[in-house]
Amino acid sequence: MNSDFFSACNQMAGLVESSISSLVCTHEGGRTVRMGADGTPTKLIDQVAEDSIMEYLRENPLCSLLISEEAGKVAFDGPEGTLFLDPVDGTFNAVAGIPFYALSLAYATEGIVRKAYVRNLSSGETFTAEKGKFAQCNGKDIRVSTVANLDECALSVYGRKFDPTRVFHLGQKIRRWRLLGASALELCYVGCGRIDGFIDLRGTLRVTDAAAGMLVCSEAGGKVSDMDGRNLSFPEEVTVGRCIVATNGVLHHKVIEYLR
């Protein structure tokens, strides 16, 4: 990538923040405008945010392929590489006025995510990562927690309605249960030690939701897998969801045991 990825992301984040400012905490922002490429309703706030990114990329192409939650796959006349975009991760929070929603961007080449950027669009807090090099929050290195016992940990756990048993058993063991509503940020929170794990068993998490946050988490010392402890990979397709288990690493095998 010829241009500075993180500088470009900061510019895009500024555009998104400006474009959606009048839609945050409004019924109008939550109005459904169409069905997105991922098969779920696109809200006005999502569309406006994505449009601002698309306009930027047309003038400053950072990649040859964009994969976005709303638009799906879009080709650009830029350098080789794929950009995974979730323009507003945590749409419900944004519309409700809950200050926990984010822009999520991940850059990949040869099927490997190399750089990640997640900004809380409410607070401006920004998480970045580069594979094999660093994970940071607002430019400062971050690290996962060292909590080793389930009865001392705080986990964000999303379960499937038709299979609550695994979540129930795990819930009996953990000390604190947190559901924050924006997966990209929750993965970053694991990375900086604010929570000890993020688990989503619904099978609906897509590459656009998780790609950036996964890199932040893993580069900060965390472990990310499927619910059986195997390496987790996503297809470059927004209609396909996955389950995910991300922890500080120390807790990982214990969490997996309770999910089996």
Tell me if residue 138 falls in helix, strand or coil: coil
Calpha distance 90→13 (Å, rounded): 15
Contacts of 181 (CB under 8 A, 6+ apart): 90, 92, 93, 98, 100, 101
Residue 209 annotated in ligand binding: yes
Residue 86 annotated in ligand binding: yes
Side by side, the strands of the sheet bearing 154-158 are 176-177, 154-158, 197-205, 242-247, 223-225
Q: Give yes or no for a contact between 65 and 75, defined as CB atoms under 8 angstroms apart.
A: yes
Please report, for residues 27, 42, 43, 125, 189, the alpha-carbon distance to residue 97 in angstroms, rounded to integers and kept in the order given: 10, 18, 15, 17, 20
Tell me if residue 98 falls in helix, strand or coil: coil
Please report, for residues 49, 95, 107, the alpha-carbon distance to residue 4 in angstroms, rounded to integers and kept in the order given: 21, 31, 12
Q: Give yes or no for a contact between 22 and 44, defined as CB atoms under 8 angstroms apart.
A: no
**Please, what sign has the CA dihedral across residues 213, 215, 216, 217?**
positive
Which residues fall in the annotated binding site for Mg(2+)?
Answer: 69, 86, 89, 209
Which residues fall in the annotated binding site?
Answer: 69, 86, 89, 209
